[in-house]
Structure 1
Amino acid sequence: MQDENKNIILILIVLALFTGATIELSEGSTIIGIVLFIVAAGVISKIKLTGDNAAFKSSKIFLFVGIFIMGAVSAYNLTTRSSIGTLDSMTFIIGTSLFAMGTARNDLRQIGEFGLYISFVFTVLYLIFYSFFGYFNIGFLHIFDHYFVLMPTVAVLKIVGIPVEIIAIETITLYGEEAMTIVIGGPCSGLYSMFLLIGIVAGYSRIEKIEVRKSLFIMLFAISIAYLANLFRVIILYLTAYFYGLEAMSVVHTHIGWIIFAGTAGLIMYILNIKK
């Protein structure tokens, strides 16, 4: 039982680090984001996975492909002098995961496989919802932000008596000491956290050989909880802006996602452990 509790705590830390790294890379400091990913990889190495072996055998092909992907991402960003974005970072993690899967050490191959599931699932979902939908002018993200994030959270503010007005599909005006315009979109949708969580559940379930039906149930449950947790996060941001101003909200916005998502994901990983 002590080992299981330690395992859950380590997984919780990893989830917080991965989430924080994703937020920093997309909104904050690229250097901090990369450091957080490296620390997360180190913490993963301390987790004792109970699966018998990594699904993939060691192969030099994985090593070479991993090195190529990492080199290609680095060369692209250096050549174009662009900042490392969310898709860049996830592609780089795919490369590092493949590199780890190509090593001779079983524990590193398991870590690599776990990282590959997380980054690959996130990347595929990101390409579908952000790149594919954007290319074909499918307005799903705007609809989701408006009807599933903005309107429910605004309704809560009105219930507690905070003056607020919807002025656009993803924009509100919050009337505190002064009128403040707040845009709900991008990371505020909570989709990044959902993508990351789906990848984590998929990877953990696969390595731990959890039954598919149970994994799907946990995944649906996880998405639901992650959605509600994100609404809670957005409401906190509104309240921070209302009482303390936009500058305070900006600071809280960068960090609160780690805490809420880590707690939510930790609960879900605990359920995964008892459902094995």
Structure 2
Amino acid sequence: MVNENRNLVLILLVLAMFTGMTIQFNEGSMPVGFLMLLGSLFLLTRINFKDLSDSGLPEVSKIRLILGIFIVLADLYWNFKTGSGFGTLDIMTIFFGLSLVGTQFSSIDIVRVSRFGTYISSIFVVLYLIFYTLFAFLDIDFMSNFDHYFILLPTVWVLGLAGIPLEVIATETLRINGVEDMILTIGGPCSGLYSMFLLIGIVFGYSRVKKMEFDTTLKMLGLCIAIAYVSNLFRVIILYLTAYLYGQETMMIVHTHIGWIIFAGVAAFIIYFIDCRK
């Protein structure tokens, strides 16, 4: 029981630092993000996944090793060639490639950690490509509609009940008349789908590690999606209130950190709930 609790704490710390890292790389400080990356990788090596379905090292797969190296190098080359910054998709793609490479190490601990990493990163990448890339290619305006009807309108309605004057002026845009007049746009990471994708990958990977039944895994995934959605509404409401009471500069500071802090709490609740059902 002590070892399981220790693993649970380490997993939650890794998830919090990893999510914080992606936010720092995109919206905060690169040095802070890099330190969080190193910290999360170090903590991953401290986790003991004893409950994985197999007990030994896998057979060496040159295809898996070459594919992992190719994915990492291809993503790095593309970013340096185009001059685009490393986004969340790039980080998760590189994480997936490194996880594939890690499964071919001679250390069982690295192999176990790498396999857990492949669950998280692969599911995130697949969901990202579906909702952001495929839908855009098919000219399906999913993101704008989701941001408007499922994020913007519900949060404006809740704050309207509290007497906070918010004015929706476009599909993803609103005006706040607080300590200063400002216009905010909801889009991209603000939709909360990044955190939802990560949580889905985490819950699925954790369920495989714990050998949960398929029906239980589906129920946990449904719970995960619902909690991720509600927690993101809570995050957006806090940002609106901060902007209304303290201005845009303070709101941006809160915006940089509140996402991964709430994510850590949500991940802690979900994994604790899963453990309680065992």
Q: Shorter-normalised TM-score: what interval? A: over 0.9
Identify unmatched segments of 5+ residues in structure 1: none
- Under a length normalisation based on structure 1, what TM-score does the superposition of the two structures give? 0.94
| Superposition deviation, residue 65 in structure 1 | 2.3
The farther-off stretch of 233-242 and 28-37 is 28-37
Tell me if structure 1 keeps the 8 A contact 2:148–2:171: yes
> Is 2:22 aligned against 1:25?
no
Identify unmatched segments of 5+ residues in structure 2: none
Instruction: From the superposition, tell whether residues 218 and 194 of structure 1 become closer, same or farther in structure 2 (CA, over 3 Å).
Output: same
Instruction: From the superposition, tell whether residues 48 and 129 of structure 1 become closer, same or farther in structure 2 (CA, over 3 Å).
Output: same
| Superposition deviation, residue 60 in structure 1 | 4.2
Aligned partners of 1:86, 1:97: CA distance in 2, in Å?
A: 16
Tell me if structure 2 keeps the 8 A contact 1:18–1:37: yes
Instruction: From the superposition, tell whether residues 15 and 262 of structure 1 become closer, same or farther in structure 2 (CA, over 3 Å).
Output: same
Q: Which amino acid in structure 2 is aligned with residue 48 of structure 1? A: N
RMSD after superposition: 1.7
Counterpart for residue 57 of structure 1: 58
- Under a length normalisation based on structure 2, what TM-score does the superposition of the two structures give? 0.93
Q: Secondary structure at the match of 1:165?
A: strand
Counterpart for residue 40 of structure 1: 40
Instruction: From the superposition, tell whether residues 199 and 132 of structure 1 become closer, same or farther in structure 2 (CA, over 3 Å).
Output: same
Percent identity of the aligned residues?
50
| Superposition deviation, residue 12 in structure 1 | 1.4
Instruction: From the superposition, tell whether residues 268 and 54 of structure 1 become closer, same or farther in structure 2 (CA, over 3 Å).
Output: farther
Post-superposition Cα deviations, 1:191-224, rounded to whole Å, max 9, x if no partner, equal 0000000011111111221111111111110111
Tell me if structure 2 keeps the 8 A contact 1:174–1:242: yes
Stretches (4+) displaced over 6 A: none
| Superposition deviation, residue 34 in structure 1 | 4.1
Aligned partners of 2:136, 2:31: CA distance in 1, in Å?
A: 28
Counterpart for residue 222 of structure 1: 224
Instruction: From the superposition, tell whether residues 128 and 229 of structure 1 become closer, same or farther in structure 2 (CA, over 3 Å).
Output: same
Instruction: From the superposition, tell whether residues 54 and 168 of structure 1 become closer, same or farther in structure 2 (CA, over 3 Å).
Output: farther
Aligned partners of 2:80, 2:55: CA distance in 1, in Å?
A: 34
Counterpart for residue 7 of structure 2: 7
- 1:1-276 matches, within 5 Å, as 1-52=1-52, 53=54, 57-61=58-62, 62-276=64-278
Post-superposition Cα deviations, 1:142-174, rounded to whole Å, max 9, x if no partner, equal 111111111111011111111111111111111
